[in-house]
Chains A and B, each alone.
Chain A
Amino acid sequence: MKLLTLRLHPFGATVDRSISLHDGLNVLEGPNEFGKSTLSNALWHVLHTPTNLTPARLRDTMGPCYPLPGGDHARVTLRFEAADSTWSLEKTWGAGGASRLQADGAAPLADPAKVQEKLRELLRLNTATWQQVLFTKQAQLASTVEQLADHGTSLDDVHALMKGAAAIPGDVAPEKLGAALDERVDDHFSRWDVRTRGPEAGRGIMNPWKNKLGPVLQSYYAVETLRSQHDAVVHYEHELDAVNARLAQAQEALTKDADFIHQGKDLRQGLSQRGALEEKVTRLTNEEKALMAIVTAWPGADQVIAAKDAEHTRLGESLTRLDAELAAARQHVAAESLRQGYQRLTSAKATWDEAVQKLAIARPVDAQAIKDIKKLEQQIESLRIQIEAQKLLAELECSSERSVTVQRGTEAPETIVLGPGQPWKGDAAGKFTVEAGDLRISVQSGMEDVDALFTKLEAAKGRHVEGLEKLGHESTAAAEAAAKAHEELAREVKTKEGLYTAALQGRSAEQWATEMQALATLPQTRALPVLEQEKNEALAQQAKLKAEAEQESTKVQQWKKEHGDVDALMEKVIERKGQLGGARTELAALPALPEGFSSVADYLKLLDARERAQESVKLEMDQVTQERTRLEATTPERTAEDLRAELELKEREFQRQLAEGEALLRIRKKLEDVIAARGEGDPLQGLTAAISTHFNALTGGRYTGVQLQGTAPAQVSGPTSLPTGLLSQGTLGSLALATRLALAELYLKDDKGFLVMDDPFTDMDPARRTAAAKAIGAFAQQRQVLFFTCHPLHAAELQEVVQGDVSVTMA
């Protein structure tokens, strides 16, 4: 697009002014308030602002462009060349608002929307590109880098332009798509922590984020808010149930005791009187009974005393007789003892006599003779031992059978038969004699005189026999036994005699006989224990009678003292009966004690307790009723079931948003993979080089290069590498100009187009300004440039650069 003329009629402070524009550099120089910015604005609006805005937008956007005072519209006419035609464009905003676009020789377009659509086609680049690259308003240059960093993705794609003939129509720049995707992901998950799957910083619905909520968090809050409402409703319902249960319980307690308490209120007064009256009746009844007992007893009391005295006397006589019988009975008891002693005496005498007779029959044995015999026996044994000690052994043998007599010591001879091969062996004490026919062989021990020993032995044996014969016993043992038996008998006699003496008990046998004869004269009695018991009973009865008589007497004395006489007592009885009758009549008129109670006091005690309990229950009921009223006043509009149904929908929406977010994350990952797989180098290398070249020239070689992030410079290199944020205003202005020129070259390379710059040199020092003027001049050699300035020096420098008159006259 090439601009030919621009007319403002009216626009802002300009009533009607036109300018003609030419190829290359157009410098519009004038002091402040001269109208440069108005021209610049008019050019922008005529190209980019439709006339069919809403009233509000029209007021905001175009209102400042209406002439003052009281202007109600603004109008601009532009002629330009584009798409091989010359076009006339006229727009009126406000009163009489209209758009008109017409190519020479063609039908005009008047529909504002269609006019704008056609203009977009002719302008070729999008509004953002025009705004951020090709149309530099006053003081906007310095913010170029920052604007590009923030909104660079909204520019027309530079990749296709960079690729030139290699570019594929319809392709999208990776960083543009990536940025758009990042923006979508960020928006979608805004304030949402993907890692914890919850709101950022854990800010739930109690402390929610207010701004920049993404769809995920919004749907999450919606779910949680509804869930909270649901929980509150359920809690409310439970609370109401609990309150109602308490009320029902209290009501039950009231109902349960209501009848009892109601009845009790009527009974209380009567029952209180009944208690006292019942007590009075009981007392009067007891008194009457006691008086009547005295009335009954008093007249017979003297007779009772006399009868008891007579009985007492009778018992005394009976006791005298009983004592006599008792004495005789005791004698009988003593006689029995004598009888038994006499019987023991008689028996002892008989056994003593028997022992004496036995002893008399037994023959005594001489003890010395026994001793002698025993001495002989010791001697005989000694001799035998001596002979036995001289032992002889003999062995007999004969070649033919022969009978032989053999005698060993003094033993009887024995006959043995010898035969060939049958030797005989034997032994003998002291002496061995063998006789065979006429042969007699006698062998003696040579140690001692065996014969003498044998002789002594025989002599001793002879005396022994004689001794025994003298004693009349066959053996020493028998003699000893006889002696022992005799001794035993003698001892027995002595024992029996002792027993007899003891049985006499110090008396003589004659005395015993005399006493025994006296016993026959004792009288017969009952048994001693029977008599003793009878006496004890009689004594007890006597004592009892005495006590009773005394007691009766005491009572009579007491009665007399208390009541005087029987007549006076009778009057008292009559008085009591009267009182009792009155009390009973009164009592009959009072209410009865309810069943199940043993006393009025018990009943009233329970009544009091239940009345107190009921009061307490009523108080509680009041409180709970208030609580229920409070709850009912806050009854939720929706039930838990309604909310549950809606909650399901909200949860489904939340899940949908989460799924959509996850899809975006997957797409982003896939995009990174695809870009990596395509293995492209820096697609903006050409742009980087162009900006670097311009920047280098504009800074007089101080900076040699730039690094881009998207289409925006992020870092510059030269003496030092610096982030663009650290550059001075002047250097930043140079970088902005370099960037705009490089991008403009790119965007306008296939089109004449134009570049608008409104006082871009303000922050530049002279050296940078000169360089900038050269750069713009160079750019203007290929394309139309509209340069607005209020600095004559700046205009002069540009004139010098292009070496010609480039000024534009405003008519």
Chain B
Amino acid sequence: MPIRIYHTADNHIGISFNQYPDAVRDRLLKERFDALERMVADANKRDAHFFVVAGDLFDKLSVTAKDVKRAVDVLEHFAGEAVLVLAGNHDFCESPDSKLWKTFRKAAEGSTVLAFTAQGTKDFTLEEGAVRFYACPCPSKYSAEPVTGWVADEPKDAGMLHIGLAHGNVEGLGLDADQRYFNMRESDLRASGLHTWLLGHIHVPSPAPGTTGRPTYFMPGIHTPDSVKCTHPGHAWWIELGADGACEHKQLTTGGVRFLRLKRDLRHANDIDALKRECEQLDAPNTVLDLQLSGCLPEADLAALNTWVEGLASTFLHVDRDQDIDHLLDAATIARRFPEGTLPHALLTELLADAEHPGDAHSALQLIEDLTKR
């Protein structure tokens, strides 16, 4: 029988979401816990041996004690062998006196929720076999060097499963040009002599869905989206590791909200219709929509668009709008407003001909209208 692991990371509990109105922020803050709760319930349903959080359970060291306790409460509902929580670079453990991790430990006292805040190994003996975890927690927010180097030199007892827990960037997977985030090389991870690594830090999952065999490492990605930068619905890994090292794994979808940025250039009523259809397909109550609209529309269409967008606020969890749409000006419109021969007509006609800057004509029109209203 294999060892069964539920692997998550980068939950970022305590993230502020300050840019959102109170109600939206509350919902997003709650979602961090809700998603964690769902994962624990799912792990129990799957009869997992271990629930692994590979770093950044918390967004920052200054996360409130209330949130820490709440997170521990959720994790304590795990019914398997142990919850293994690794300190990541956001919730790094700078010393045994770390306020965050002292609070965490106190809250988790007497439970199977274990904090891995110092480099070391932890053995478990189960009916299915023995397993040794190699914990490589982050001692700081930034580091040019990985903290996994010691693992290769550790003796590896035969007949056990050897699994690494680490948090940081992996060359080739994430972008860390400055090498600030404990940058690890896949070749080093492979050469460490472990059966696999359970990692955190990069918010994009790895390996790609459909990959078979035993990957060198797993990266679950964020468990529920936190911004438009997260383009997936939030994931975790379900991993079954046989005593012989055979591996079965499955990507699980765990998020309950989506952040979606729709960047659209609208130049025709059809474009608006397409945008509407696209929005209708979305799970509006659970979606933070970020509309970035540009283009050029007739006045009536633009008014209709504005009315529709304003209406979205009542259905979507939240709507942000960054709109830069000009009134559509054409020769007929110009002629209707300014008789031929007038300076505005001549200027606007000239500006209209400049296809590279379609907004200029509209800007000039506004200026002229302001002027004539004085």
Contacts and interface: CB of A to CB of B under 8 A. Distances in A.
A642 interface: yes
9 contacts: A168-B342, A172-B344, A180-B370, A238-B141, A240-B94, A245-B139, A635-B62, A642-B16, A666-B354
A241 B95 contact: no
Contacts of A667: 347, 351, 360, 363-364, 367
A646 B359 CA distance: 26
Q: A-B pairs with the 8 shortest C-beta distances? A: A244-B94, A241-B140, A171-B342, A180-B371, A667-B364, A674-B346, A237-B141, A674-B347
Contact of B363 (A238, A664, A675): A664
Interface string B329-346: 000000001110111101
B322 interface: yes
Contacts of A638: 16, 18
Contacts of A656: 324
B367 A244 contact: no
Interface in A234-256: 237-238, 240-241, 244-245, 247-248, 251
With most chain A CB atoms within 10 A of its CB, the pick from B19, B324, B339, B374 is B374
Contacts of B347: 177, 667, 670-671, 674
With most chain B CB atoms within 10 A of its CB, the pick from A154, A171, A238, A660 is A171
A652 B338 CA distance: 34
Interface string A146-172: 000000001000000000000011111
A629 to B, nearest CB: 11
A177 B140 contact: no
Interface string B297-338: 000000000000000000000000010100000000000011
Interface in A93-135: 126, 128
Nearest to B371: A180
Contact of B342 (A154, A170, A176, A666): A170
A334 interface: no
B59 A674 contact: no
A173 B342 CA distance: 9
A639 B14 CA distance: 11
Contacts of A671: 347, 364
Contacts of B94: 240-241, 244, 247-248
Nearest to A255: B96
Contacts of B363: 660, 663-664, 667
Nearest to A673: B350
Interface string B57-75: 0011010000000000000
B269 to A, nearest CB: 25
Contacts of A176: 371
Interface in B222-240: 227
Contact of B322 (A251, A645, A652, A673): A652
Nearest to B14: A639
B368 interface: yes
Given A180-B367, A251-B95, A670-B350, A170 B19 contact: no
B45 interface: no
A692 B370 CA distance: 33
Interface residues of B, number: 40
A169 B339 contact: yes
Given A172-B371, A645-B227, A177 B343 contact: yes
A675 B367 contact: no
B357 interface: yes
A666 B339 CA distance: 23
Nearest to A665: B360
A639 B59 contact: yes
B142 A237 contact: yes
Contacts of A664: 363
A498 to B, nearest CB: 98
Nearest to B322: A652
Interface in A640-663: 642, 645-646, 652, 656, 660, 663
A507 interface: no
Contacts of B140: 240-241, 244-245
A245 B142 CA distance: 11
B343 A674 contact: yes
Contact of A171 (B16, B344, B354): B344
A802 interface: no
Contacts of A673: 350
B95 A248 contact: yes
A666 B363 CA distance: 11
Nearest to B324: A656
A604 to B, nearest CB: 31
Interface residues of A, number: 44
Given A172-B344, A248-B94, A638-B16, A663 B359 contact: yes
B241 to A, nearest CB: 33
B281 interface: no
Interface of A: 126, 128, 154, 168-174, 176-177, 180-181, 184, 237-238, 240-241, 244-245, 247-248, 251, 635, 638-639, 642, 645-646, 652, 656, 660, 663-664, 666-667, 670-671, 673-675, 677-678
A240 B95 CA distance: 12
Nearest to A243: B94
A656 B367 CA distance: 18
B125 interface: no
A170 B360 CA distance: 20
B372 interface: yes
A674 B19 contact: no
Contacts of A666: 354, 357, 360
B332 to A, nearest CB: 16
Nearest to B140: A241
B174 to A, nearest CB: 14
A240 B368 contact: no
Contacts of B367: 177, 180-181, 184, 667
Interface in B11-46: 16, 18-19
B350 A174 contact: no
Nearest to A646: B19
Nearest to A662: B357
A663 B357 contact: yes
Contacts of A244: 94-95, 139-140
A171 B360 contact: no
B351 A670 contact: yes
Contacts of B59: 639
A532 B151 CA distance: 81
Nearest to A635: B62
Given A639-B59, A666-B354, 8 more contacts: A128-B374, A172-B371, A173-B343, A184-B367, A238-B142, A241-B94, A244-B139, A677-B346
B141 A678 contact: no
B138 to A, nearest CB: 10
B57 to A, nearest CB: 15
Contacts of A645: 19, 227
A343 to B, nearest CB: 91
A4 to B, nearest CB: 30
B348 to A, nearest CB: 10
A675 B343 contact: yes
A646 B94 CA distance: 28
Contact of B18 (A128, A169, A642): A642
B368 A172 contact: yes
Contacts of A237: 141-142
Contact of B343 (A126, A169, A172, A245): A172
Nearest to B118: A248
A154 B370 CA distance: 12
Interface string B92-123: 00111000000000000000000000000000
With most chain B CB atoms within 10 A of its CB, the pick from A168, A174, A247, A678 is A168
Nearest to B362: A663
Contacts of B227: 645
A181 B350 CA distance: 16
Nearest to B12: A641
Contacts of A171: 338-339, 341-344
Nearest to A176: B371
B19 A126 contact: no
B368 A177 contact: yes
B19 A168 contact: no
